[in-house]
Amino acid sequence: MSPVLELNGIVKDYRNLRALDSVSFEARGGEIVVLIGVNGAGKSTLMRIIAGLEEPTNGSISFNGQSMTAKELRKNATMVFQRTAMFNRSVYDNVAFGLRVRGEDDKRISEDVPQALRLVGLANFEKRKAKKTSGGEQQRVALARAFLLNPKILLLDEPTANLDPNNSMIIERAITNRKKEDEIIIMATHNLAQARRLADEIVHIYNGRIVERSIPDEFFTSPRSEITRKFINGELEY
């Protein structure tokens, strides 16, 4: 059975700012849900809540019908951040980190890490200092690190932002190849072309609210929301 993630009325307030307002949607295994919206719309906040890195002010998240706390969500979800963070260690140690904290044995780690690196086009990068690799390579290391954990929910926060077309293409290909029935992929982007290429469903967030949710063809050809129409046509002021 493919996993199901349900968000019910998620609200997130920061002092006087409402970052998310009654956000509800559902995602299923085997599909890529793309969160789209302008900077500051609330995409990253929503991703962080799904990843269990922040608690919502209100609302609930359930996974396979079970209500989840932030700690429980962290056991099922792994997030790749927009600005890649690397430990000051080798590429191998960075990719192995998640398995090590889970107590996996060294033999399995030594087999799985090179394999995960090959999937993102970084074979033989194991011994390099992670922080001394390029931005694109670091983002691919981050992707390999997340892939290796086989999370049930994979969250990708603008994984190709600030990358050159070649690195973006490699990452998009790795994400597409990754699609599988027992994993939900949620990706945030403000790149419309990328959303069209990768998404099974697009969720448009504006000012912390979902204003449109549809399959890519409908989203781009016949949006129901005026805000989405303006966003697609580059007419949205924010």
Partner 1 sequence: MFDTITDAFQKALQLIFSGDPEVFATALRSIYVAGAGTLLACIWSIPIAVLLGLYSFRGKWLIKSLFNAMLGVPTVALGLILVMFLSRSGPAGFLHLLYTTNGIALGQALLVTPIIVSYTSSALSATDVQLRDLAKTLGASHLQTNIAILREAMWATVLSLISAFNRGFGELGIALMVGGNIAYMTRVLTTSISLEATKGEYAFAVALAIVLLVMVVAITVFVNLVERLRE
**Is residue 14 at the binding interface for partner 1, with CB under 8 A as the rule?**
no
- Answer yes or no whether residue 45 interacts with partner 1 by CB under 8 A: no
Of the pair 141, 210, the CB lying nearest partner 1 is at: 141
Which secondary-structure segment (H or E) carries 210? strand 209-214
157 vs 201, beta carbon nearer partner 1: 157
Residues in Cβ contact with 3 at an 8 Å cutoff, skipping those fewer than 6 apart: 28, 29, 63, 64, 152, 153, 182, 183, 184
Question: Can you tell me which of 27, 32, 36, 51 binds partner 1, judged by CB under 8 A?
Answer: 51
Is 53 a residue that touches partner 1 (CB under 8 A)?
yes
With beta carbons less than 8 A apart as the criterion, state whether 212 and 219 touch: yes
Q: Residue count at the site for partner 1 (CB under 8 A)?
A: 21
Nearest-Å Rg of the Cα atoms of the chain is 18
Q: In this chain, which of 18, 28, 75, 230 binds partner 1, going by CB under 8 A?
A: 75
Q: Report the C-alpha gap between 135 and 171 in whole angstroms.
A: 12
Which residue, 85 or 169, has its beta carbon nearer to partner 1?
85
The set of residues, in sequence order, having a beta carbon less than 8 Å from that of 214 and lying 6+ positions away, is: 201, 202, 223, 224
Residue among 88, 221, 222, 233 that touches partner 1 (CB under 8 A) = 88
Least distance in angstroms from the C-beta of 99 to partner 1: 9
**Minimum distance from residue 35 beta carbon to partner 1 (Å):** 17
What distance in Å separates the CA atoms of residue 121 and residue 193, rounded to the nearest whole number? Answer: 23
- CB nearer to partner 1: give 59 or 98: 98
Q: Does 149 bind partner 1 (CB under 8 A)?
A: yes
Output the CA angle 207-163-39, nearest 5 degrees. 10
CB contact at 8 A, 34 and 198? yes
Query: C-alpha angle with apex 40: 193 to 174, nearest 5 degrees?
Result: 40
Instruction: Please list every residue from 93 through 112 that binds partner 1, using CB under 8 A.
Output: 97-98, 101-102
- Stretches 76-84, 120-128, 216-224, 230-238: which one binds partner 1 (CB under 8 A)? 76-84
**Contacts to partner 1 by CB under 8 A:** 48, 51-53, 74-75, 77-79, 81, 83, 85, 87-88, 97-98, 101-102, 145-146, 149
